[in-house]
Amino acid sequence: MHFLDQAKIFVRSGAGGPGAVSFRREKFMEYGGPDGGNGGKGGDIIFEAVPGLNTLIDFRYTQHFRAPRGSGGAGANRTGPGGRDLIIRVPVGTQVLSEDKETVLADFTRPGQREVFLRGGDGGRGNASYKTSTNRAPRQHGTGWPGDEAWVWLRLKLLADAGLVGLPNAGKSTFINAVTNANAKVGAYAFTTTRPQLGVVSHKQREFVVADIPGLIEGAADGAGIGDRFLGHIERCRVLLHLIDSHADDPVAAYRIVRGELEAYGADLAEKPEVIALNKADLLDEELTEALIAELEAESGAQVLPLSGATGQGLEAVLDRLIEAIGPSEMHAQDTGEDEEPREWSPI
C-alpha cells in the first residue's frame, strides 16, 4: 500500500428538495384546499475517523464527494424523503484544512470521532404552509435551500507515542525493526526511509507506538533533502528518541543539526522530552564510547545512552527510558484513578 499523507478533495452537501403545489381533490369534498408537502432535507457531508487506516491514498483516485439532494414534497401533505448523509472515512490523526492550508477546520484524534462538516440544505415549503385566512389557495412553494461546497485539504499526522529523529544512516530503521513488528528498509546509503513507518513495541507488559520518519539534514527546514514535511507526523508524540551515529565525522555536530531543524520547524518539537542514544556503539571500544557520550552529554545537558540496534546492546535501557517518558497508559491511568482530560463525544 502506498503512503500518502496529503490530499485535496471537493465536498458538497445536498440541496433541499422543492416543496409541492397540490390541492385536495376528493368526491363529496367541495373545499379540499392546498395539501402540498415540504421538500426533504439534503444529505450532510460527515467525516468519520476509523482505525486500521494509515494513508490517504484512496483520495488520490476519488476526489469529488457529493451528498444527494432531498426529494420533492408530494400531495396529501407528504414531506419528501431527505437525502442520505455521505460519510467520508479517514484515518485517525487526519486534519481537514481550508483550501489555502491556513486554517484547521477539523481534527480527528480518536477512533469513532464524527463531525458534520457541511450541513445539507433544508427542504422548500409546500403550498399548504402558505395558506392563510386571506390566501385560501396559494400556489407558491419553496424550491429548497442549496447545499454548501468547498475544496479542502486532508493532512494526515500519524499518532504515535514515540518518534525517531536523527540524520540519515543514524540507524533508525534498524532500531524500529529490532523493537517492533515493522519491516523498514535498511541500506548502506542515505534516505533509505522515504516515508514514515509505524511499529508497536511490547516491553514489560506495556505497548506503545513508535514512528520512524525520513532522516533530516542541515537545511531541511528550507527544503534540503526530503525537507521537513514529515516532521508533522511526530508533532503528537509524547517523546522523541534522538539517534546519533557513533561513526559520524562529528557526532556532536550531528546532534546540533537535528536540534536546529526541530527548532526551525516549530510546533514545540524542540520542547518535547528527548531520549538521546549513541547508536552503533558495538563498533566502538569502551573508551571511545565513553568519550563520545561525555561530549554529547556536555552539549545536550542530558544523559546519553549507548545503543546498538543491530546487536540489541542497550535496547532494554532505551525502552525503559521511553516508557518512563511516555508515562502511564490510559488503561493504567483508569485503574489507578489518575485524572485525565475528559473526552467529548458528539453523536450525529
- Give the C-alpha separation, 292 to 283, whole Å: 13
On whether 281 is known to bind a ligand per the annotation, the reply is yes
- Give the C-alpha separation, 311 to 186, whole Å: 15
On whether 214 is known to bind a ligand per the annotation, the reply is yes
On whether 56 is known to bind a ligand per the annotation, the reply is no
Give the containing element (helix H, strand E) for 152: strand 149-156
Instruction: From residue 189, give the alpha-carbon distance in Å to each of 125, 169, 171, 215.
Output: 68, 7, 11, 11
On whether 171 is known to bind a ligand per the annotation, the reply is yes
Sign of the C-alpha dihedral, residues 96, 98, 102, 105?
negative
Instruction: From residue 64, give the alpha-carbon distance in Å to each of 71, 98, 152.
Output: 22, 16, 11
Q: Confirm if 128 and 32 have CB atoms less than 8 A apart.
A: no
CA 195 to chain centre: 16
On whether 170 is known to bind a ligand per the annotation, the reply is yes
On whether 131 is known to bind a ligand per the annotation, the reply is no
Contacts of 83 by beta carbon, 8 Å cutoff, 6+ apart: 14, 17, 40, 41, 42, 43, 67, 68, 69, 70, 71, 120
On whether 168 is known to bind a ligand per the annotation, the reply is yes
On whether 106 is known to bind a ligand per the annotation, the reply is no
* DSSP-derived 3-state class of residue 315: helix
On whether 223 is known to bind a ligand per the annotation, the reply is no
On whether 215 is known to bind a ligand per the annotation, the reply is yes
On whether 35 is known to bind a ligand per the annotation, the reply is no
On whether 169 is known to bind a ligand per the annotation, the reply is yes
On whether 172 is known to bind a ligand per the annotation, the reply is yes
On whether 185 is known to bind a ligand per the annotation, the reply is no
* DSSP-derived 3-state class of residue 92: coil
Q: Confirm if 240 and 274 have CB atoms less than 8 A apart.
A: yes
DSSP code per residue over 170-222:
SSHHHHHHHHSS------SSTT---S-EEEEEEETTEEEEEEE-PPP-TTGGG
Q: Count CA within 13 A, CB hemisphere, residue 6.
A: 10
On whether 193 is known to bind a ligand per the annotation, the reply is yes
On whether 328 is known to bind a ligand per the annotation, the reply is no
User: Which residues fall in the annotated binding site?
Assistant: 166-173, 193, 212-215, 279-282, 308-310
User: Which residues fall in the annotated binding site for Mg(2+)?
Assistant: 173, 193
User: Which residues fall in the annotated binding site for GTP?
Assistant: 166-173, 212-215, 279-282, 308-310
